[in-house]
């Protein structure tokens, strides 16, 4: 808090010192809409978000990071989602893979993707754009995708550094292979933040921070479901790109937490591509027609590719699914199937985590001490009790995203 003008000094003299010290977390009533967590802010931010916003994206307003500074960053970032921005500009920016914001701001922010060609990543791109538009000091938004090419991912990252962007947000599809460019950015004093638990070695040293849920705990939560509903038999693990940190994170922790009589018969990469999911699931079904469960990140990929593979094999979709994303298409497919032998458990999509990553990096520019990990708690939802099939939402979307519904319909008409 900067108090270096006359008006601020007069205000300081008028306010008792004890009142200044009382900058502690409070909870205030917010009418029938619920309650909202509030705290005095800093570094250009207000640590405040409506309970309704938190419930929408986290399922439960209390599922915030435990670390105090991490919690404040999350509140600041998610609270910004409530600000009005130019949605037409956001849509143009999304379609054009970047734009000038028109504010005249001096900052340039970049979202550098290794792979951006599925709905989850495209929604994350929009969340990034919407968050950037809440900052008048941002004048330019940059977006690139390497289209699954590891060398291009490194080239794109270096291009962002050479353009002297002020902030880079990314998901490191290729894991620690991205460390050299993370270090280059850090040496150039460009904060790099990852989201969706895009964990690369040495957060806080070789790059600023990693945002997301603890994927090891996610794996253990998956195992608890499998132990309860599969009990014994065969299951398979599906993942994204080989070596990506999200898949590795939960897989390495689910397997040892499973009952000894549950057998993981396959661990396959799908590149988070529904057509690849169909191919992989079909191959596993052919070898293991008695398979009972599937653990994966991408709910929509399983709804599209997995279901198609079962149909092609002439088999009912009888399985236990543990999924990370809460795609509307998965919930609606479950509703249409009306199959009591299909059990679906899911986490939040995590698209809004990219907002937290961007806000953390911008706060770093203002001198904030950012924790190397910003970790959200995990609470899996049971599709039978809480459906993902949100009324009015495109099936490609996630209802826990903070993208306005009217904008989602323009993105996916």
Domains of the chain from N-terminus onward: 6-80 (no CATH), 87-214+351-378+404-411 (3.40.50.2300), 215-346 (3.40.50.2300)
CA distance 344 to 326: 10
Please compute the mean of the pLDDT values over residues 271-296 and round it to a whole number: 97
Least confident residue range of 38-42, 203-207, 314-318: 38-42
Distance CA(269)–CA(236), nearest Å, equals: 11
Q: Phi first, then psi: what are they for 251, rounded to 5°?
A: -60, -40
Both structure tokens of 371: 């924790």
Inform me whether the pLDDT recorded for 29 exceeds 80. Answer: no
Supply 97's token pair: 């893979």
pLDDT score for 17: 39
* pLDDT at 315 > cutoff 60: yes
For the cut 60, the answer to whether the pLDDT of residue 13 exceeds it is no
User: What digits encode the pLDDT tens for the residues 78-125?
Assistant: 999 999 999 999 999 999 999 999 999 999 999 999 999 999 999 999
H or E element, residue 159: helix 150-162
Reported as a pLDDT band with limits 50, 70 and 90, residue 39 is low
pLDDT over 70 for what percent of the chain? 91
Mean confidence (pLDDT) of the chain = 91
Are the beta carbons of 378 and 347 closer than 8 angstroms? yes
3-state secondary structure of 99: strand
Q: Which residues pair with 210 in a beta bridge?
A: 194, 373
**Is this structure's pTM higher than 0.75?**
yes
Across residues 132-158, what is the average pLDDT?
98
Whether pLDDT at 12 is above 60:
no
Residues 6+ apart with CB under 8 A from 272: 115, 118, 120, 240, 241, 297, 298, 301
Q: At what angle do helices 353-365 and 68-80 cross, to 10 degrees?
A: 110
Which token pair is 161? 């550094």
* Dist CA 98 CA 14 (whole Å): 46
């Amino acid at each position: 808090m900067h108090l270096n003008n006359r008006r601020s000094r007069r205000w300081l003299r008028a306010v008792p010192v004890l009142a200044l010290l009382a900058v502690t977390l409070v909870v205030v009533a917010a009418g029938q809409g619920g309650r909202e967590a509030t705290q005095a802010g800093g570094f250009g931010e207000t640590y405040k978000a409506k309970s309704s916003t938190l419930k929408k994206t986290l399922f439960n307003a209390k599922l915030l990071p435990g670390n105090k500074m991490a919690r404040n960053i999350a509140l600041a970032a998610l609270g910004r989602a409530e600000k009005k921005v130019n949605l037409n500009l956001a849509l143009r920016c999304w379609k054009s893979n970047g734009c000038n914001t028109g504010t005249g701001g001096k900052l340039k922010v970049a979202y550098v993707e290794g792979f951006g060609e599925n709905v989850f990543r495209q929604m994350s791109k929009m969340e990034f754009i919407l968050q950037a538009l809440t900052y008048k000091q941002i004048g330019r938004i940059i977006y690139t995708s390497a289209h699954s090419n590891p060398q291009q991912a490194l080239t794109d990252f270096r291009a962002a550094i050479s353009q002297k962007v002020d902030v880079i947000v990314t998901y490191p599809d290729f894991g620690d292979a991205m460390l050299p460019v993370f270090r280059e950015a850090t040496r150039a004093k460009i904060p790099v933040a990852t989201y969706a638990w895009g964990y690369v070695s040495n957060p806080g040293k070789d790059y600023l921070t990693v945002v997301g849920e603890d994927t090891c705990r996610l794996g253990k939560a998956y195992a608890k479901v499998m132990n309860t509903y599969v009990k014994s038999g065969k299951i398979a693990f599906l993942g994204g790109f080989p070596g990506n940190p999200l898949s590795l994170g939960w897989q390495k922790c689910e397997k040892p937490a499973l009952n000894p009589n549950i057998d993981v018969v396959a661990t396959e990469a799908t590149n988070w591509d529904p057509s690849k999911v169909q191919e992989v699931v079909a191959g596993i079904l052919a070898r293991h027609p008695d398979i009972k469960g599937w653990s994966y990140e991408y709910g929509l990929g399983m709804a599209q590719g997995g279901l198609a593979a079962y149909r092609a094999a002439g088999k009912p979709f009888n399985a236990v699914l543990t999924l990370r994303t809460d795609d509307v298409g998965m919930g609606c497919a479950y509703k249409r199937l009306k199959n009591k032998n299909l059990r679906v458990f899911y986490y939040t999509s995590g698209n809004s985590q990219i907002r937290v990553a961007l806000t953390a990096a911008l706060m770093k520019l203002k001198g904030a001490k950012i924790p190397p990990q910003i970790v959200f708690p995990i609470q899996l939802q049971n599709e039978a009790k809480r459906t993902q099939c949100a009324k009015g939402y495109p099936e490609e979307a996630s209802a826990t995203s903070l993208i306005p519904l009217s904008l989602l319909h323009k993105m996916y008409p």
